[in-house]
Amino acid sequence: MSKPFQLTHDVIASENRRLEADLGRDAEHLASVLARRGAVFEALVARARAFRIAVPSWGLATGGTRFARFPIAGEPRDVFEKIDDCHAINLLVGITPLVSLHIPWDKPRDAGALKAHAEERGLAIDSMNSNTFEDQEGQPLSYKYGSLAHPDPAVRRQAVEHNLECIEIGRALGASSLTVWIGDGGNFAGQMHFRDALAAYLDSMQAIYAGLPANWRVLLEHKLFEPAFYSTVINDWGTSYWAAERLGPQAFCLVDLGHHAPNVNIEMIVARLIQFGKLGGFHFNDSKYGDDDLDAGSTKPFQLFLVFNELVDAELAAVPGFTPAYMLDQSHNVTDPIESLMVSAMEVQRAYVQACLVDRAALDAAQEANDALAALAALKAAFTTDVSPLLAMARRAAGGAADPVAVYRASRYREVIAKERPAPPRRGAGIV
């Protein structure tokens, strides 16, 4: 068997040379197609290069369902090894220098050492995610019946304290936002008093908000259902907006693409939150039935493009305060998580670049003239443009790989780390 090679910029560059001739031809063709439409290839490469998306630490181990999890060798055993995998991803794709952490799963014994470990690898900590949807060992009170919206103030207090601790850890790590998703809800009609539960949530969130450093944001994540199957406290964007509005200027809404009813017009929700000045960020993934946590762009790429159409429109209009954080949130049940995260980051970047291609003047004119067909045609012209050579050029220019999955597979990274991480991966079911 040939010796595995390390993922370094040199190795990536030599792999890139293999694809150089074909890529050059494809890029030249795309540049001439774009020029005919008045778009400048190099300008779009610059926009693609500036794109950033965070990788979720919890997506680096194999995911699972409530039925089973099928671990693979070499899964990270702690947050330091998760950072190492994020480093590999960012070396190859060049647009993921950010990592979202989940506490207590990623609670570091030494925050300074973790920060240094990330920084040495060119990475920074993005949002801190709290976890009051499951009980932790030694925790005095249970979250079985809720957390921030629990009827018992003592449980609510414990959940608030946990969020405040997440902020403290995040401060030491250089993070500047806290993402709060709660599983609070009911499985039976009558189980929960809807208005009281929401009031309790707001009260708890106010206590958390009071502990936010001045330069931090808190991102409120809504979700239609699950783990509760009858009612959920923060079930939709309207409720999330209501809470963010009451909390104050540092509170924003986070849109996880999997957290809506099937067929809901998510791009319109995005536009509404932009208009109301409360769009704080995204958890990108894809879904067919519910919160499937499939890879971004894998089942509904047109929806992803339409979401970015709204985001680019807001960016071009310089909507005040519009700085959403882009993050992935996925569960990889049948793929190597590193491969899925690389492909997903690139698919989100693809949607962004395609949205940059929309002929806004043509779209405006079609809307003014009530020409529905022409309006759709303006969007479709951008969506059907294969920008792959442009994305590959952007990666190459940033020192990344023209074909990240091919380089990753050739490097045999998984085999190498499997030897370095001999402990058997944790078995068992569990949706994360």
Residues that bind ligand PSV (CB under 6 A): 58, 129, 181, 221, 223, 256, 283, 291, 329, 432
Q: Per CB under 5 A, does 256 bind Mn ion?
A: yes
* Residue 325 φ/ψ, nearest 5 degrees: -90, 130
Q: Name the closest residue to ligand PSV (Cβ).
A: 181
Partner whose footprint covers residue 291, from Mn ion, ligand PSV, none (CB < 5 to 8 Å by kind): ligand PSV
CB of 382 to Mn ion, least distance (A): 27
Comparing CB distances to ligand PSV, the nearer of 291 and 403 is: 291
Comparing CB distances to Mn ion, the nearer of 203 and 226 is: 226
* Residue 29 φ/ψ, nearest 5 degrees: -65, -45
CB of 231 to ligand PSV, least distance (A): 16
CA 201 to chain centre: 24
Partner whose footprint covers residue 129, from ligand PSV, Mn ion, none (CB < 5 to 8 Å by kind): ligand PSV
What amino acid occupies position 30? Answer: L
CB of 54 to Mn ion, least distance (A): 12
Comparing CB distances to Mn ion, the nearer of 4 and 227 is: 227
Pairing of strands 54-56, 98-102: parallel
Q: Per CB under 5 A, does 329 bind Mn ion?
A: yes
Partner whose footprint covers residue 286, from Mn ion, ligand PSV, none (CB < 5 to 8 Å by kind): none
CB of 293 to Mn ion, least distance (A): 8
Quote helix, strand, coil % in the chain, to nearest 5.
50, 10, 40
Task: Collapse the DSSP code of 172 into the 3-class scheme (helix H, G, I; strand E, B; otherwise coil) and give the result.
Answer: helix
CB of 300 to Mn ion, least distance (A): 17
Comparing CB distances to ligand PSV, the nearer of 170 and 400 is: 170
Partner whose footprint covers residue 401, from Mn ion, ligand PSV, none (CB < 5 to 8 Å by kind): none
CB of 91 to ligand PSV, least distance (A): 25
The token pair at 260 is: 């809506």
What amino acid occupies position 223? Answer: K
**What CA–CA distances, in Å, run from 135 to 109, 139, 142, 228, 343?**
20, 7, 6, 16, 33
Label residue 270 left, alpha or beta by phi (over 0 means left) and psi (-120 to 50 means alpha): alpha
Comparing CB distances to ligand PSV, the nearer of 56 and 97 is: 56
Contacts of 373 (CB under 8 A, 6+ apart): none
Task: Collapse the DSSP code of 157 into the 3-class scheme (helix H, G, I; strand E, B; otherwise coil) and give the result.
Answer: helix
Taking the CA atoms of 246, 251, 255 and 259 in sequence, report the sign of the dihedral they define.
negative
Distance CA 37, CA 358 (A): 10
Q: Per CB under 5 A, does 283 bind Mn ion?
A: yes
CB of 184 to ligand PSV, least distance (A): 12
Binding site for Mn ion (CB under 5 A): 256, 283, 329
